[in-house]
Amino acid sequence: MHFKNAEIVKNAILQLQGLFIKVGQLLSILTNFLPEAFQKPLEELQDQIPARPYAEIAQRIKAELGESPQVLFASFEKEPVAAASIGQAHKATLKDGTVVIVKVQHHNIEKIAEVDLTVMEKLTRLAARFYEVKGMEYAYTQVRKMIEEELDFKQEAASMQQIKANLIQEERFEIPEIHQDFCTERILTTTFYEGVKISNTEQIKSWGLDGREIANRLIHAYCEMVFEDGFYHADPHPGNILIQEDGTIVLLDFGAVAALEPNTRTGLLELIEAAAKNNTEGIVNGLKKLGFIADERQAERISEKVIDAFRNFLENEVEFDGLSLKDIKVDPFNNSLFNLTSQIGLKNLANTVQVPKDYVLLNRMVTLLLGICNTLDIHTNPLEVVRPYFQKFMLGERGDLVKYVTDLVQKSVVNALSLPSDIRKTLKKVQRGEIELQLTGNKEKTELLLVLGKSLIYTLLLITTSVFAWLFYQQQELQLLKYAGGIGAFFAFLLYRNLRVGNRIKQRIL
């Protein structure tokens, strides 16, 4: 049944052509959700789309380069080695003997893409006007940006050259050379490389290659692109990665690339810190900096409700019987998120939450990369390679680490780490003058209440410094370990003294 339905979907997409093939490619990589039988037919949409007639290709080359393929090249194979949504690739030989791949955009693909985008734009505008949802129009603009970038082969050539220069030190890792005399906005000619798809594990094993070692080198290269250079290849599906007999990795097709914006690092830091402190306002600010929340006051108010509902959903309404998605139990129609959606409506949600195209590409890249690594070796642990890069990216060098730890401890005194969430929200209302706080009872009870609050603060600060001391011990940061130990001892002394004060007050009351 799954196979039959997948064939129906595939045939409909092939009939529609154009950008709808992109939809099929996206479906084909959802390995965590789609049944394997459904997934396999759609994988053909990655690079095995029915080819366009050679006459169209020859006409396109002559229009772009001024001569026919027979004149420009020593040889040119009429049958493509791969065909995709935007174009197809043909093997050829330059007159100096260099074997190349000539990627040619389909005839009228610009007009086809424009028609598809126009249809999408009109539908989103109609839906947005009918439902008064602005978020849908934002999604359309992000899709349009991605397609326009992928249609520009000059930009793709520049991206290839930049990433090739960035990864020049990577061992057994190749990116094809660009042959500029045979490149235009619609034609891209690169050096040909032998190899098999990285998903061809049988051939890789027959060559005596270690799948886990290949996976680790691939992850290492992507860590360099993402964390060190901030500019990465965003479409690592198996058709775009070749493995040669000596284990060399060849990366192809740079139509989809993305940059990690400078504010991503600071936004992630703020988001992690706020999440650790249970600080809803900080989480909202971090998500805004990352571009996930619209820049409006109404959006802030709704996002705070969504975050609170999501926190309650995870803490109280989800049952985890294991680490697999299949082991998660939840009532889909009776939970905080479902009730919240019913209360504020999809309109307000769409006007609040937005997903920038760079994060769509980043998520797609991570999903594809993890799928490939799992195919090469199910025991591959990407975190072993990623951890040092992520730590450096998030915390910087030693000086940044000290500053981050110092700021976190300092802010903990007045933030959510120091007081429960409900008390913190109440105090904020008091500060804004929205609540008048009156304490009733005798002096001793009031003093005991204050002692209790101080004890809670000192205890949590002591726990915090103990955690950091343990982290510094693991990383052999002895100087920082001394600082953390001294601060922890200071908080322990304050806690001890405060408890003695509390005991004296209790004795007076009794």
* Overall pTM surpassing 0.85 (yes/no): no
Give the model's pLDDT for residue 468: 73
- DSSP structural state of residue 60: H
Which of 154, 393, 165, 149 has its CA nearest to residue 257?
A: 149
Give the tokens for residue 83: 């065909």
Give the model's pLDDT for residue 209: 95
Per the CB < 8 A criterion, the answer to whether 135 and 351 are in contact is yes
Residue appearing with tokens 């004795």: 507
Give the model's pLDDT for residue 290: 74
Which of 488, 460, 459, 461 has its CA nearest to residue 473?
A: 488
Give the model's pLDDT for residue 448: 65
Which of 479, 502, 480, 498 has its CA nearest to residue 490?
A: 498
Helix axes 398-412, 382-395, angle to 10 degrees: 70
User: Would you call 294 helix, strand, or coil by DSSP?
Assistant: coil
- DSSP structural state of residue 67: S
Residue appearing with tokens 């040119």: 76
CB count, 10 Å around CB of 93? Answer: 15
Cα 345 to Cα 446: distance, rounded to the nearest angstrom: 45
Helix (H) or strand (E) holding 84: none
Helix (H) or strand (E) holding 419: none
Give the model's pLDDT for residue 203: 95
Sign of CA dihedral 188, 193, 196, 199: negative
Give the tokens for residue 175: 């990116």
DSSP annotation string for 96-148: TS-EEEEEEEPTTHHHHHHHHHHHHHHHHHHHHHHHT-SHHHHHHHHHHHHHH
Who contacts 32 (Cβ-Cβ below 8 Å, separation ≥6)? 325, 367
With the CA atoms of 131, 137, 143 and 145 taken in that order, what torsion angle do they form, in degrees rounded to the nearest 10? 180
Give the model's pLDDT for residue 286: 75
Number of H helices, E strands in the chain: 20, 13
Strand partners, 187: 104
Cα 96 to Cα 107: distance, rounded to the nearest angstrom: 29
Q: How would you label 314-343 residue by residue, b for 16+ Cβ within 10 Å and e otherwise?
A: eeebeeeeeeeeeeeeeeeeebbbbebeee
Cα 317 to Cα 306: distance, rounded to the nearest angstrom: 15
Cα 314 to Cα 337: distance, rounded to the nearest angstrom: 10
Cα 410 to Cα 464: distance, rounded to the nearest angstrom: 11
Cα 162 to Cα 157: distance, rounded to the nearest angstrom: 9
The ranges assigned to domains in the chain are 2-43, 109-148, 398-509
Q: Which amino acid does the sequence have at 479?
A: Q
Cα 69 to Cα 61: distance, rounded to the nearest angstrom: 7
- CA dist 233 to 187, 199, 253, Å? 19, 18, 8
**Per-residue pLDDT in tens (0 to 9) along the chain, 510 residues:** 888 888 898 888 888 776 677 667 666 655 455 677 777 777 777 656 778 899 999 999 999 999 999 999 999 999 999 887 788 999 999 999 999 999 999 888 888 888 888 887 887 777 767 655 555 566 677 677 777 888 889 999 999 999 999 999 999 999 999 999 999 999 999 999 999 999 899 999 999 999 999 999 999 999 999 888 889 998 888 889 999 999 999 999 898 888 887 777 677 667 666 666 667 777 777 777 777 776 666 666 666 666 666 666 555 555 555 444 444 555 555 555 555 555 555 455 555 666 666 777 787 788 788 888 888 988 888 878 887 877 777 666 544 555 555 555 555 544 444 445 555 555 555 555 555 444 444 566 666 667 776 777 777 777 777 777 776 776 677 777 777 778 878 878 877 777 777 777 766 766
DSSP annotation string for 153-165: HHHHHHHHHHHHH
Reported in sequence order, the residue ranges of 30-98 that DSSP labels E, i.e. its strands, are 75-76, 82-83, 87-93
Helix (H) or strand (E) holding 366: helix 357-376
User: Would you call 454 helix, strand, or coil by DSSP?
Assistant: helix
Q: How would you label 259-294 residue by residue, b for 16+ Cβ within 10 Å and e otherwise?
A: ebeeebbebbbbbebbbebbbbbbbbbbbbbbbbbb
